[in-house]
A = this chain, B = another copy of it.
Amino acid sequence: MRTPTGAGQRTATLSDVARLAGVSIATASKALNGRRQVKAETRAKVIDAAERLSFSPNALARGLLAGRTGTVGLLTSDLEGRFSIPILMGAEDAFGSGRTSVFLCDARGDAIREQHHVRALLSRRVDGLIVVGARPDPRASLGPDLPVPVVYAYAPSESADDLSLVSDNVGGGRMAVEHLIACGRRRIAHIGGDPTYGAARDRTVGVLGALADAGLELAGGKPFYGTWSEAWGRGATRMLLEQTPDVDAIFAGSDQIARGVLDALHELGRDVPRDVAVVGFDNWEAMAANARPPLTSIDIRLEHLGRIAAQRLAAAIDGEPTSGTEVLPCRLITRGSTAPQT
């Protein structure tokens, strides 16, 4: 039976349960919340009644009283969700089985919309906020005056008073090159992404560090910067091979760039990984795993980032705030595009 509102049965309240069980509201509450000041028999009666009415406590009323809602806001600006979704999933995981739910709001890179969402979330009395930036560069802080703790993930806050969690792009770049060196490569080039991104420059820093440690120089003489696209990966590769034909490895600034690199190498008749090894960045499964050959890539572990963000936020909500920027390590995922040189 449906009511005219399109909804099923009206939700039962605690007083319905109490009435059905023949006890007071207070007793029903205690019974359901596992308080021990209630006779086992009574408790059973109440629980039975609650089940029969499929009672579910009103979190609003509860939150009103407790001053906590078990609710967290995730504010993103990442249109496609490529970054925020894994972060969200990690966060959901860490918050554990349903004690905390997540409001996801997309500001679409618009400051006005962001303010708007912040207000909406605060009026819903979220216990805290996770802010995921549109790109991994520092972004404006939401300010120090919010009534709830905030964790910035992926993109750090510009303010050192905030807590920010970011991926270790320097370490990631280093890791890629160290892997290539371990595979026996010596003529290693780097085709980076958009140089206006700090992440692109950081990765280069790692690249140069690892090369220096091994007493090597960057093949091609300098990093190549362009855009985060396959087209750039193709173009840069052609340019690179023309001027430096003896390259035996290319570290690409993203998996999309790497796809372009693979394409161009294929066209130029270079075998991957025999002639040239390739490493990507992001470990974007759909891109990396379906490449030919499958692409070795640096995984920035966004789910892990989300998990840590949730942990830090939970700690802050419980009165143990932290601040500063935490840099989380990347991870190498080895696939067919690199292989030890025999």
Q: Check if A120 sits within 8 Å of B98, measured CB to CB.
A: yes
Q: Tell me the residues in window 58-103 of chain A with beta carbons closer than 8 Å to chain B beta carbons.
A: 58-61, 63-64, 69, 71, 79-82, 85, 88-89, 92, 97-98, 101-103
Residues of B within 8 Å of A144, CB to CB, are 2, 8
Q: Say yes or no for A316: interface residue by CB 8 A criterion.
A: yes
Residues of B within 8 Å of A285, CB to CB, are 80
Q: Check if A321 sits within 8 Å of B6, measured CB to CB.
A: yes
**Chain copies in the assembly?**
2
The answer to whether A58 and B123 touch (CB under 8 A), given A64-B64, A89-B106, A147-B7, is yes
The minimal Cβ–Cβ distance linking A111 to chain B, given in whole angstroms, is: 15
Residues of B within 8 Å of A124, CB to CB, are 59-60, 71, 101
Residues of B within 8 Å of A259, CB to CB, are 290
Q: Check if A88 sits within 8 Å of B101, measured CB to CB.
A: no
Q: Which of A60, A89, A120, A259 has the most CB of B within 10 A?
A: A60
Q: Say yes or no for A105: interface residue by CB 8 A criterion.
A: yes
Q: Check if B321 sits within 8 Å of A2, measured CB to CB.
A: yes
Partner of A117, one of B5, B98, B147, B229: B98
Q: Check if B148 sits within 8 Å of A60, measured CB to CB.
A: no
The minimal Cβ–Cβ distance linking A308 to chain B, given in whole angstroms, is: 16
Q: Check if A60 sits within 8 Å of B69, measured CB to CB.
A: yes
Q: Say yes or no for A213: interface residue by CB 8 A criterion.
A: no
The minimal Cβ–Cβ distance linking A284 to chain B, given in whole angstroms, is: 9
Q: Check if A60 sits within 8 Å of B146, measured CB to CB.
A: no
**In the complex, residue of chain B having the shortest beta-carbon distance to the beta carbon of A146:** B8
**In the complex, residue of chain B having the shortest beta-carbon distance to the beta carbon of A313:** B6
Q: Tell me the residues in window 262-293 of chain A with beta carbons closer than 8 Å to chain B beta carbons.
A: 263, 285-287, 290, 292
Q: Say yes or no for A320: interface residue by CB 8 A criterion.
A: yes
Q: Say yes or no for A30: interface residue by CB 8 A criterion.
A: no
The minimal Cβ–Cβ distance linking A148 to chain B, given in whole angstroms, is: 5
Q: Check if B6 sits within 8 Å of A316, measured CB to CB.
A: yes
Q: How far is the CA of A59 from the CA of B122 in the complex (A)?
A: 9
Q: Check if B56 sits within 8 Å of A119, measured CB to CB.
A: yes
Q: How far is the CA of A85 from the CA of B132 in the complex (A)?
A: 15
The answer to whether A286 and B58 touch (CB under 8 A), given A147-B8, A149-B7, is no
Q: Check if B125 sits within 8 Å of A60, measured CB to CB.
A: yes
Q: Say yes or no for A178: interface residue by CB 8 A criterion.
A: no
Residues of B within 8 Å of A256, CB to CB, are 286, 290
The minimal Cβ–Cβ distance linking A146 to chain B, given in whole angstroms, is: 5
Q: Say yes or no for A230: interface residue by CB 8 A criterion.
A: yes
Q: Which of A10, A85, A125, A145 has the most CB of B within 10 A?
A: A85
5 closest A-B pairs by beta carbon, nearest first, are A6-B321, A81-B85, A104-B104, A6-B316, A98-B120
* A-B contacts, 22 listed (Cβ < 8 Å): A2-B321, A4-B319, A7-B146, A10-B147, A11-B122, A11-B125, A56-B123, A58-B125, A59-B125, A60-B124, A80-B285, A81-B82, A81-B85, A85-B85, A88-B106, A98-B116, A98-B117, A102-B103, A102-B104, A102-B105, A104-B104, A259-B290
